[in-house]
Amino acid sequence: MRYLLYFCLFFIQLSVAAQNETFDISTYTPPKGWKKEKSESAVQFTKEDAAKGTYCIITLMKAVPGTASSKENFDAAWDNVVKEMVKVSAAPEMQPPAKENGWEAQSGYAPFESEGTKGIVLLVTSSSPEEMVNIIIMTNTDVYESEMTAFLGSVSFAAPKPVSNKPASNPAKPPVTATTAKKDSYAFNTTNFDDGWTSTVQEDWVEVTKGSIKVLLHYPKEGTIFPADPEPLTNAAWNILVAPRYSKLRNYRTAYISTYNRPYLASGYATDNKTGKEVYLVFFRQGDSGWLEFITPDKNTFVQQYKFDPETIRWDSDSELMATLLAMVNYNKFAVAASDFTGTWTSDFSGVQQLYNVYTGNYAGMNIHQSNQTFEFGTGNTYKWNLVAVNGMVGNMNYAQVKSAGKFTVLNNWQVKFSDLEGKPKTYHAFFSCIKGARLLKLLDAQYPGNGTYTVFGKK
């Protein structure tokens, strides 16, 4: 294993390979035949031999803010990411740093143990002046040596961002943009995304802009959810959310879309009452996305950005194009600060299964699972955590409760580390999304980011 890891680390500095996939700012060649899981924060590849008990897990993480010191970035990632994932038995054995195209890679490895499983964990932290990208490999065999080596050798990164003058005391705070965000009690009301979009908190929506394109992510409002019939609902929502801000509507049309999880769509030209200019509007909703209002100077601008014409699209054959619109809901996302964590935040879950006998078809009972999770944040970055769960068949229910308390730390404004949850430290990816007059706190276990499912907490 020692030779294997040294060879992989050495290979990073020498190998050039074909690059055919991109995640965030990283380009790489995926290992063939490996299971792939992708979330907003990481892409993960897994291969295992159940019969022999061997495995290898490669996790390429999204770029996060870092310092100018590559070693400091490595140490921070080792303490806050690796140690949260597994129990390491020694300090990492470091390899000589490697430099290429404005990035410096620091690499180290150590033995680990996790739930009775032993192996080697390797961390490669690549740093530019303001960002870092982490690759974590966990394995208990050298069987996958060539595939690990090929993957590491294939990874490259986009050119480093120019060094900005933002204060080191708050590296994640976004700069001021042309659109003024609504002020509230939270630290961050603006987010500048790497792909050029900027989100700001507003009274009745989150406003997302890039160039001449503006998208309003409307908060839920009475009268815009029911009835379920497409045209009456689209027209009702348009009249409530859109029409009051425009005049001289022309070429207005709605689309009846008969598909699973039916989308609702309307489009037209109108004059903006505030600017006096004519704009092209597209109004869209699918599932629980909420209503999205796309505002562009003309239809051609919309078509160039989203690759379809709302007036001629065939939704039965081009339904994948809906994803380009739905993706905009992901911009309702704002960083967190320690000062935001006050009071009590709760998350409730309920699930019911109706069971039937596979042979007779007779009703076989009901299985229920309910849980309530609570964080109570106090002064001095303290917290109390409580989880209550009830599950089982009706008439034979099981009840469980787990509690802990400690201190929390906000990392890079997009992660929160708790000193004790269920007997060990735990780190979550974290962000806020907005609704009318409030925010929702979303947490994803950083140790298992592959499922991409955030737990949503609302403030009492």
| 175 against 62, higher pLDDT | 62
User: Measured between alpha carbons, how far is 201 from 183 in angstroms, rounded to an integer?
Assistant: 8
pLDDT tens profile 410-460: 998 999 999 999 889 999 999 999 999 999 999 999 887 776 788 999 998
| pLDDT greater than 80 at residue 170 | no
Q: What is the pLDDT of residue 134?
A: 92
Beta strands, E only, 211-307: 213-218, 246-255, 263-272, 278-286, 292-296
- In this predicted structure, which of 219-233, 278-292, 399-413, 438-452 has the lowest mean pLDDT? 219-233
Residue 95: Cβ within 10 Å count: 20
| pLDDT greater than 90 at residue 396 | no
| 408 against 309, higher pLDDT | 408
pLDDT tens profile 224-268: 887 656 568 889 999 999 999 999 999 998 876 655 567 788 999
Place of tokens 């394995």: 139
User: Measured between alpha carbons, how far is 329 from 379 in angstroms, rounded to an integer?
Assistant: 33
Residue 384: Cβ within 10 Å count: 14
Judged on CB neighbours under 10 Å (0-12, 13-18, 19+), 61 is: buried
For the chain, give the mean pLDDT.
Answer: 83
pLDDT tens profile 144-168: 888 988 888 889 898 887 654 443 3
Q: What is the pLDDT of residue 309?
A: 83
Q: What is the pLDDT of residue 3?
A: 39
DSSP state of 250: E
Q: What is the pLDDT of residue 166?
A: 41
| pLDDT greater than 80 at residue 363 | no
Distances 392 to 12, 258, 350, 354, 365 between C-alpha atoms, Å: 51, 38, 12, 12, 10
| pLDDT greater than 60 at residue 319 | no
The reported pTM is 0.60
User: Measured between alpha carbons, how far is 210 from 193 in angstroms, rounded to an integer?
Assistant: 10
207 close to 216: Cβ distance less than 8 angstroms = yes
The domains located in the chain, with CATH, are 2-157 (3.40.1000.10), 194-329 (3.40.1000), 338-459 (2.40.128)
Q: What is the pLDDT of residue 210?
A: 94
